[in-house]
Amino acid sequence: MSHRIVFLDRDTIAPHINVRRPDFPHDWEVHDRTRPDQVADRLKGATIAIVNKAPVRAETLDALDDLQMIAVAATGTDIVDIDACAKRGIVVSNIRGYAINTVPEHAFALILSLRRSIGAYRRDVAAGEWLKADQFCFFTHPIEDLRGKQLGILGEGVLGSSVAAIGENGFGMKPVFLDHAFVSDADRETKAFMPLDELLATSDVLTVHCPLTPETHHLLDIDAFRRMKPTALIVNTARGAVIKEDDLATAIEEGLIAGAGIDVLAAEPPPDDHPYIKLLERPNFILTPHVAWASTEAMQTLADQLIDNIENFVAGNPSNVVSGG
């Protein structure tokens, strides 16, 4: 049979990335972006849907009798009703392992920029402060080494573990993970864990690499920030709502922590009145637009795996299948 494949949001992958056509007979329809109210209409008659941010909910699936597979062009699948798909026999596949280099590298770019006050000094130089200095350098912002510092990590999965390896092997940091009820025996044998209160109180850098769940939602709130060192940094390249965003803004403004590097928000893009917007001129706050995942190498790996998943499904050997809860 010839499949009809509809890609709902091609703009979520950079235009220079090659998304190859699958190697089997098919019709191929691509949309740059798709609003939630357009999803059902655009997927009418489709046998395979490619989605990234366009939501596919149960009520939408009711109108899509031909749909056999949803290929998610990302790791997170919260935009798809997995249980509803399972009831209808629709296979859902996602992308795995593509960001093992790009996200940890971005996390350390934020950590290094904040810890060494790179952005702050760049602003001073651009403002002419070096031209006015009486000597070869000036000391308007603190600089600290990473060696010997505790690297607190929320999430001991592939990305958290990669961050730990970079911190320990590259910078001589001491990685410690958040303890929780689902830590595997194998991880306990090879990694150091601490309960949340102790991790907050002792970490010099706290970086987020855990999924957003009811247990992690707003895990880092004003009470958590008050338990942290005033010299500590927070970095989040995982899910925005792990941090209570109003509370982080308060913590930065009141000096409860030394700074934060953020790549993800609870709602993206942010509204004009988002609490982080008022922090953008502060030298100890960095906001990047959800691009930690977006190195050229990572996006090409994602695109290749996306089509691999589709080809494997059509060949009768589906890969990276996401199960319902």
Residue of 129, 215, 268, 297 marked catalytic: 268
The residue among 165, 171, 192, 154 whose CA lies nearest residue 115 is 171
CB atoms within 10 A of CB 1: 8
Q: Which one-letter amino acid corresponds to residue 88?
A: R
Written as six digits, the tokens of 271 are 């509204």
Single out the catalytic residue among 88, 96, 227, 290.
290
Q: Of the residues 4, 239, 245, 274, which is catalytic?
A: 239
CA atoms of 61 and 79, how far apart (whole Å) = 13
**What whole-number distance in Å separates Cα of residue 207 and Cα of residue 164?**
10
- 239 among known catalytic residues: yes
Residue 204 and residue 149 in contact, taking contact as beta carbons nearer than 8 Å: yes
b/e code 126-141 from CB counts within 10 Å (16+ = b): eeeeeeeeeeeeeeee
Q: Is 290 a known active-site residue?
A: yes
Helical residues (DSSP H) of the chain, grouped into ranges: 39-42, 58-61, 82-88, 102-115, 118-126, 129-132, 158-165, 171, 185-190, 196-202, 222-227, 245-253, 296-314
Q: Tokens at residue 325, please?
A: 């809860």
Active site residues: 239, 268, 290
